[in-house]
Structure 1
Amino acid sequence: MSGLNLAHLASSTITLEVGPGKFPIRVPKLLLTEASPFFDNALNGKFMEAWTNIVPFPTDEPDVVFRMVKWIITGELDSRNDANDSWEGQEEEYDDDAAYEERPNSDISGRRRRNPTTAPPPLPATGANALFKLWCLAERLLMPSLQDAVAQTLVASVVRNAYTGLGPVPNPPTLAFVYDNSAEQSRIRALAIDVAVVSWETAALKDLSAGLPVEIVKDFWALL
């Protein structure tokens, strides 16, 4: 990723409406179309998004989409462990004399409206679980470089935390999400199962796998 430049800033602004609350994330159009064939087709074709400059993500989490956009801008993967680093509980303060203020978790240009919309601020997914969801989002958006970055980060995290405890990662809902949003032979499925085998504590296996579909349980136990 080359980061923001004048051409990006001069392009029109696209609003990504994320989640059922339609949380708005505003991004220069050129940034999106350069990074993803999905956005290029949607915003430069004959689709409604090209006329409205709004791209809906009704089933995604704002935090996960924000991580995708941050990667487009910086080329760096946001893999923070929100147990230590979270938006949750942080009060936003705004200058009464300014309509906008520089904020670290704001619009993609680095600015956030003084009066937020009715949508709530993004809530981070739990730890590395967000990265599994980010991989699935990157696959939908046809962004293989982001998929590679996520996979490498997840593997590094497993190696780094193998003896200190990860999780469980992915947790059961995230593992089910991966299976619901990936193909049968997808590498993210294989990675998710591999990481679960490493990070799920033996004593908790029965409870963790209790509510999972049979397909997932079979894949999991096949590796034990």
Structure 2
Amino acid sequence: MFDAGERLKTARVNAGYASAQDACDAFGFKYPTYIGHENGHRGITTKAAQRYAQAYRVDSAWLLMGVSRGKQSPPHQGASIEFAQESSAPQGFGEQRVTPFVAKTDTAEAAITRFAKAIEPNLQSMYLYRIKADHLDLGLLTDDVLIADHKNPPSDGQIVIISMIDFENNETSTILRRWHGGLSIPSITEPSDIPGEPTVRGVVVGTYRGTSI
């Protein structure tokens, strides 16, 4: 399972652009916005996906949702633990209930990296998030750090990070749900008026609880 940012990077590499800067120079993309999309720190709007798809000659539906009406690029193979940048203002986290993880200190960043690798040493790609609101029915509290797998599909009972893509308004919100029977089950704390179609962004494989992180 790959998220939109990973698919965007795959499309760029397959199109022959070794770096994000090369692609931005070639197509006139704004680098801060583009790299935020590729790193997963910003939600990709339908309009942006269509522009990227035209540039890289891939299907915009594949970029956004991982489903293709035509040619689909092969997945990028790599290993990483991704951190958000302090200056990022991601559209994909507009609800501010789940945000990309930003360590409070260098020591904290090193500690959470060691913890994440100890939890799941064989994962090819891990992403870290911070919870901004209690989710008591999921056993999660404000400031918990989530270790998420963006590659493998969820199993029953696992907590999943969901992107709610509102194609009509070109907006994305990110929330937490429980996976069961092939469906994401809304948390009791989830606002009832979040628009959009749910897409699994990642699977929570570990949680770190500590206010100093």
TM-score normalised by the chain length of structure 2: 0.27
TM-score normalised by the chain length of structure 1: 0.26
Find the structure with the greater CA-based Rg.
1
Which one scores higher on RCO, CA 8 angstroms, separation ≥ 6? 2
Structure in which a larger fraction of residues adopt strand: 2
Structure in which a larger fraction of residues adopt helix: 1
